[in-house]
Amino acid sequence: MADNTASSASTSTSTAPMKTKKDSQGLLLGRYEIGKLLGHGTFAKVYHARNIKTNESVAIKVIDKEKILKGGLIAHIKREIEILRRVRHPNIVQLFEVMATKSKIFFVMEYVKGGELFGKVAKGRLKEEIARKYFQQLISAVGFCHARGVFHRDLKPENLLLDENGDLKVSDFGLSAVSDQIRQDGLFHTFCGTPAYVAPELLARKGYDAAKVDIWSCGVILFVLMAGYLPFHDKNVMAMYKKIYKGEFRCPRWFSPELTRLLSRLLDTNPETRITIPDIMNKKWFKKGFKHIKFYIEDDRLCSVPDDADVDSCSEQSLSESESETESLRSVASLPRPASLNAFDIISFSPGFDLSGLFEEGGDEARFVSGAPVSKIISKLEEIAKVVSFAVRKKDCRVSLEGSREGVKGPLTIAAEIFELTPSLVVVEVKKKGGDKGEYEEFYNRELRPGLQNLMLEGDTNMEMAII
């Protein structure tokens, strides 16, 4: 489904709100106040809406079930949801939730009110520092997608939105593919994309590397931002395809030598020698003013980390061992008292209230009882994180351990929370928040459980019987 309605901002002037039989007052499922129509496509419409509880503006993509059933697109919709859940990044439009009725499917998405990047380019070429900023954000988002096995395959200025701060957001993953769609030859074979931005290997109608196809499209976008026009253009589509296939383009005189060299690598007709994203990010032209975006997921929402945020990155720690220990003790000394567990909490844990700290079979979490002070438990978690170069994020009696190694499902993130059981005992709950389950289990068994073993209460079999 290649509807551009997945974008959450549009210049549409329609003000007609969506009406449904169940929500005659404009409320969708009792939660969202529906506003003006932002845009529409073959299978869906996008409306501006407001969350009546939080007052947050959102964009709601309304998909007609009957139309997608007739078009055989159910699997496509499921894949789009999976993709949007997998690629949560500050420069990608977020999917907050999916709801459905008998006749409609609703994607509740981030509302990006700055419009399409295409609107800016239509007024003329951009200044180099502005174009560079957008390109940096685009490459950051695309690289993030590729690390998770997601390939956009329809990158163009119309699918790049700008928020109120002027930051870029990649939208419309309707033509995206995931790595498990790759055939035995290791390549994709579906022809897709927008003619002016399509890579030459797609024109050959053979298998292609989708990551290299996205990089080509990024090159065309960069050229357009800097020049104000397309590198390959002709009124006759077949003539344009011929230029693309041969790689015939010329950089304007105002392009710097560094930019020209970068574009020649981006728009290399041979995908084997075309530049990769790590190499792009290593180029001098790209690195100028570039800052890596730091963010994390909290309560299923994306949160940005300010440059001066208090986050302990164990791999970049500059404090000495004694300073680090002193700082750690100082930070935990002021911790509030852990939340108490009542009888209902304990009952809800049974029979999975695992006082021995062992895994629940097939689960992504574990619990154990400890008589150690909260400060000592948190210090031990920080110590374990330091060994494996994980970043540590602390808030009250919650600790998040965040890996840096990218994978298909993102970096491994583990949350530990401490609850008061009695004035002298606490329950430590450890669970996977993000990343691969196998990697989590390996880390838990090799590092986390052995590291916390000495803090676990001895003889907790009798304790378990007493609690039950």
Tell me if residue 403 falls in helix, strand or coil.
coil
Phi, psi of 132 (to 5 degrees): -65, -45
What are the helix (H) ranges across 361-430? 374-387
**pLDDT (average), residues 276-289:** 95
Beta strands in 82-179 (DSSP E): 95-100, 104-110, 150-151, 160-162, 168-170, 177-178
**pLDDT (average), residues 304-310:** 55
> Which domains occur in the chain, in start order?
4-110 (3.30.200.20), 117-293 (1.10.510.10), 312-467 (3.30.310.80)
Q: What residue has token string 């139309």? A: 67
Supply angle C-alpha 57, 29, 18, rounded to 5: 65
Interacting residues of 107 by C-beta distance below 8 A, sequence separation 6+ = 6, 60, 61, 63, 81, 84, 95, 98
**pLDDT (average), residues 73-102:** 88
The two tokens of residue 62 are: 């309304």
CA distance 283 to 316: 23
Band the pLDDT of 350: cuts 50, 70, 90. Answer: very low
Average pLDDT, the chain: 78
pLDDT of residue 312: 41
Phi, psi of 344 (to 5 degrees): -70, -35
Q: State the burial class of residue 101 (Cβ atoms within 10 Å of its Cβ: 0-12, 13-18, 19+).
A: middle
Band the pLDDT of 187: cuts 50, 70, 90. Answer: low
User: Is 214 one of the annotated active-site residues of the chain?
Assistant: no
Longest Cα–Cα distance in the chain: 81
Q: Give the range with max mean pLDDT: 104-113, 300-309, 320-329.
A: 104-113
CA distances, 416 to each of 53, 157, 246, 384 (Å): 29, 42, 56, 12
Residue in 154, 268, 312, 354 annotated catalytic: 154
Q: What is the pLDDT of residues 34-71, one digit of tens each?
A: 999 988 877 889 999 999 999 999 999 999 988 888 88
Interacting residues of 205 by C-beta distance below 8 A, sequence separation 6+ = 191
Q: Is the dihedral of CA 222, 227, 228, 234 positive or negative?
A: negative
Percent of the chain with pLDDT over 70: 74
Kindly calculate the radius of gyration of the chain based on its CA atoms and give it in whole angstroms. Answer: 26
pLDDT of residue 428: 86
Q: What is the pLDDT of residues 225-247, one digit of tens each?
A: 999 999 998 889 999 999 999 99
**pLDDT (average), residues 387-395:** 83
pLDDT of residue 402: 85
CA distance 385 to 401: 7
pTM of the complete model: 0.67
Cβ atoms within 10 Å of 300's Cβ, excluding its own? 10
pLDDT of residue 169: 95
Q: State the burial class of residue 62 (Cβ atoms within 10 Å of its Cβ: 0-12, 13-18, 19+).
A: buried
The two tokens of residue 137 are: 């954000």
324 vs 234, higher pLDDT: 234
The two tokens of residue 64 are: 């007609």
pLDDT of residue 385: 86
Beta strands in 180-282 (DSSP E): none
**pLDDT (average), residues 134-147:** 94
Phi, psi of 334 (to 5 degrees): -95, 15
Band the pLDDT of 19: cuts 50, 70, 90. Answer: low
pLDDT of residue 322: 37
CA distance 274 to 195: 20
Band the pLDDT of 392: cuts 50, 70, 90. Answer: confident
Taking the CA of residue 2 as centre, how many other CA atoms within 13 Å lie in the half-sphere pointing to its CB? Answer: 11
Q: What is the pLDDT of residues 407-434, one digit of tens each?
A: 556 678 888 888 877 777 888 888 888 7
Taking the CA of residue 157 as centre, how many other CA atoms within 13 Å lie in the half-sphere pointing to its CB? Answer: 23
The two tokens of residue 147 are: 């690390």
**pLDDT (average), residues 181-207:** 77
Cβ atoms within 10 Å of 75's Cβ, excluding its own? 9
Is 61 annotated in a binding site? The answer is yes
Percent of the chain with pLDDT over 90: 36
